[in-house]
Amino acid sequence: MDAISAQNSLVAASPAAELRPLTERQEFEQASSLYQRVFHYTEQFTLNTKLMRSLMYAGGTAVGAFSDEKVLIGFVYGFPAIDNATPYLFSQAACVDAEWQGRGVGRALKHAQMDQARRGGFTSMRWPYDPMNTRNAFFNLSRLGARARWFKPDFYDDGHSDRLIVEWDGVEWDGAEWNGVEWNGAAKDGSANQPVITASIDSAPALFGQVQQLDASRAAITLPAGPQAPEDTRPLVAGSLRRVLEAGYAAVQCVRVAPGVFAYLCQQDSV
């Protein structure tokens, strides 16, 4: 509990947020309601409280963020997984109330979840996200420092759920591997710790989804900002990400390179 409470320092703009494990059925019911509200899901998509209790018994993690009024404003949960004899924690969902987004709650929850994962003997976490959602991409790659190493087409077998799978060891990325490369006049995100990391990337819409090779070991793929991209752009971005990741690259950043344009920055992976 103390280690999780220590993560509250990450919630810079919301000091009233309290982080603690979720364990009781009533807490999972609150999490389910928040989950439906944030993602605009119907009763078809909810959290099964009995399953959540079983996952916690079997080594899973669930952390909630509470306001000073003791209202649940965000949560994360995950469960143990294994890949070629390597165990890790699979983070199934991260959810923050709309009024609290952008205030450090999601970041604090991820770090608290990583702390719980380490207590369980895991050294890394993985989770999926929609590669066209540039806000999530920036948070996962550029804010947390996760690396997108796998592309999974139609991950949920519903016809429209291509996903990138990221891996994270809990260390926020400092961008050192990209230092010294010119911005070429493009706009930075504005983050105080965001390094100068992008090269001469063409932001023209005609090149959305195409691989722009920057040098022998680095490449960029541009896409429009926001989750609602033109339908003809999505398969182009998906196809290029799949090819570069299968070629041994990892997507290590997603940054704004022009108004309304983001770029995935990919480099040869060391793993």
| Cβ count within 10 A of residue 54 | 12
Q: Comparing 20-34, 180-194, 236-250, which segment has the lowest mean pLDDT? A: 180-194
- Look at the block and give the residue holding tokens 């344009």: 261
Helix (H) or strand (E) holding 112: helix 105-119
Which tens digits make up the pLDDT trace of 126-158? 999 999 999 999 999 999 999 999 999 999 999
Task: Report the SS3 class of residue 188.
Answer: coil
* Crossing angle between the packed helical segments 49-57 and 25-39, to the nearest 10 degrees: 120
Nearest to 141 by CA among 41, 241, 35, 14: 241
CATH 3.40.630.30 domain locations along the chain: 2-123
Output the pTM of the full model.
0.86
According to DSSP, the residues that pair with 61 across neighbouring strands are: 78
Q: List residues bridging with 166 in a β-sheet.
A: 127, 148
Which pLDDT score is estimated for 11? Answer: 41
180 vs 59, which has greater pLDDT?
Answer: 59
Residue 170's identity, in one-letter code, is G
CATH number of 2-123: 3.40.630.30
Question: What letter does residue 138 receive in the DSSP assignment?
Answer: I
CA terminus-to-terminus distance, the chain: 33
